[in-house]
Amino acid sequence: MGTNTLICGTLIKFIMPKIIVLVHNKCPHCEEIKKKLGNDARFKIMDVSKDSEARMLAMKLGVHAVPYFLYADEQGQVCTLDENGKVGKCVGETMKNAKRK
């Protein structure tokens, strides 16, 4: 059964509900996002200032600013999301840490 999530004003339906949020510990906007998301199990917070896997993922996807939202599908592929919530560039990474919280 799918799950509906409102991201950037767009309703996205997906089976394995996991949005990865790349953040940095010195980013005030990132702190605000983390507070708003709280302990929501649909989101996995990954800090690029502390997590080498997060840095590698950001580099592979061309992410240069945070906070940044990514989508992890049921096969473990991780993709960028544009401002409308549409899936963009993907990498075939198996995100062990992104699939569990």
Report the Cα–Cα distance between both ends of the chain, in Å, rounded: 20
85: its two tokens: 């919530």
- For residue 20, list its beta bridge partners: 44, 70
Domain spans of the chain? 3-94
pLDDT, tens digit, 9 for 90 and up, residues 83-101: 888 888 888 744 444 444 4
Better pLDDT: 76 or 6:
76
Summarize the chain as % helix, strand, coil (round to 5): 25, 35, 45
pLDDT surpassing 70 at residue 40? yes
As a CATH number, domain 3-94 is 3.40.30
Q: Are 101 and 18 in contact (CB under 8 A)?
A: no
Per cent of the chain over pLDDT 70 is 74
Residue 17's pLDDT is 53
